[in-house]
Amino acid sequence: MSEQPGPFGVRRAGVLLHVTSLPSGDLGDDAFGFVDFLADAGCSVWQVLPLVPTHEEDRSPYNSLSSMAGNPELISDARREQPDNATLADWCAQHRDWLEPYVEFVALRELQGGTKWWTWEPGLRDRDPNAVTRALAPVVDRVVELKREQWQFARQWQRLREHAAEKGVLFFGDLPIFVSLDSADVWAHRELFLLDERGQPITVTGCPPDYFAEDGQRWNNPHYDWDAMAADGYDWWRRRIARQRELFDLVRIDHFRGFEAAWHIPADAPTARDGKWVEAPGAEVLAALIDEAGTGTLVAEDLGVITPEVDALRTSFRLPGMKVLQFAFDGALDNPYLPVNHDELSVVYTGTHDNDTTVGWWASIDERTRTQAASHLIDPDEEMPGALVRLAMQSTARLAVVPAQDLLALGSESRMNTPGTETGNWSWQAPPDAFDEELAARLRAVVGEAGRQ
């Protein structure tokens, strides 16, 4: 592989741990301590899930009130700072394009008792400026508070990034390709989505039947009106990726294949089985994203139904793909997740936030799969999950990322998410003092053996 710019210029190791999974669940001392742990363990990448404000019902970071705002629940009370009026005003002006719709949307949503925006009276539903101004006049203090929350989040994240930079640790973020229907994004930019006159989707997102769900998955996001987006050179996407690069050194594009073609499910269809693939202008969108984000900063989540066209789109832009070892051992020699089939322009994982932990996975697979796995391990006698962690680190992939649950040898009870289910997800937190010196030393040895940093 020719030399890659930026983070992929060297072999790196990282850990996947969402901020909510820290013992404190916020950007306080535990977050700073985890950066120190990574540095002590010889790792230079901290991968997180989207940092966006979530819906009350499911708390999923992939179903947010805004694709660009920060989650105020991540703010550490102990590290709060008070901006002066000029500082706050300057920051708000710089982020006006996403901040104004967000604070209006949240304040109105609160006034409407948390109901969906498309059920609001027409003036508010359609974001008529006069109607919005009249409705928000009695709660102007709340609007200012919402802006101050976003400044506070940005300030604490900036402090954490500065600390990470001092320790040589990069942040690896996650950009869901689609956005929630009940979001400031759709409310403020209905013209960019395939909606009817009432603001309802004509078709919704999802994926066909696969490893995770026999009926496929119905995600219920609205689809983009790509023609409308093309008219201004994909400005919304440019602003979105620019916001992500404010926060992260690397950005994973979740469901990358949706840029080549997306699964369109009729809004009234009972399951995702009734959908069909509809082509998207992937090359045009990616050209705009890379122009804004810079080369060597994006990663494609290319799991699931991947066609030659999707591979060609990814490779034409030199984007690293993903290799998940839990998918590798079906006995097929051409399995792309087998270590012998990895290429350098990849990110290798034991599993992701959508998989069972490696301990849980190992307990659930049959003897044939175990035998297949053992034949590829560095040391077949090494116990799980350490054996799979070592295999990931030894991969030719430039970046190896291990979920924190696998470092801690935790079982299925610590799984982060089970796709296709609506309860019991996104709630796992590491126990206090889990990331100690002994664990750092063990990880540092495995990372060092693999020539990573």
Nearest of 60, 56, 65 to residue 108 by alpha carbon: 65
Total residues belonging to the chain: 453
Tell me which long-range contacts 335-340 makes (C-beta under 8 A, separation of at least 24).
Answer: 338/376, 339/376, 339/391, 339/394, 339/395, 339/396, 340/376
- 30, 182, 249, 254: which is the annotated catalytic residue? 254
Distances (CA, A) of 126 to 105, 150, 191: 11, 25, 11
SS3 of residue 165 by DSSP: helix
Given a contact cutoff of 8 angstroms between Cβ atoms, the answer to whether 7 and 37 are in contact is: no
Q: Angle 205-18-442 (CA atoms, 0-180°, nearest 5)?
A: 130
Cα–Cα dist 303/319, whole Å:
14
How far is the C-alpha of 85 from the C-alpha of 106, rounded, in Å? 22
Active site annotation includes 141 = no
Output the CA–CA distances (angstroms, integers) from residue 45 to 34, 269, 379, in the order listed. Answer: 11, 41, 26
Among 30, 249, 301, 406, the active-site one is 301
Which of 149, 185, 354, 356 is flagged as catalytic? Answer: 354
What torsion, rounded to 10 degrees, do the Cα atoms 347, 219, 414, 11 define? 10
**Cis bond before residue 385 (omega within 30° of 0):** yes
State whether residue 23 is helix, strand or coil: coil
DSSP secondary structure letters along 25-49? -SSSHHHHHHHHHHHHTT--EEE--
Say which amino acid occupies 368: R
- Of 94, 89, 19, 29, nearest to 61 (Cα)? 19
Distance of CA 139 to the CA centre of its chain: 33
Cβ atoms of residues 271 and 195 within 8 Å: no
Q: Which residues pair with 324 in a beta bridge?
A: 349
Q: Where are the extended beta strands (E) located within 8-138?
A: 12-16, 45-47
Please indicate whether residue 279 is annotated as part of the active site. no
DSSP string, 183-228: SHHHHH-GGGB-B-TTS-BSEEEEE-S-SS-TT-EEEEEEPB-HHH
| CA 144 – CA 104 distance, rounded (Å) | 10
Is 354 part of the annotated catalytic residue set?
yes
Catalytic residues: 254, 301, 354
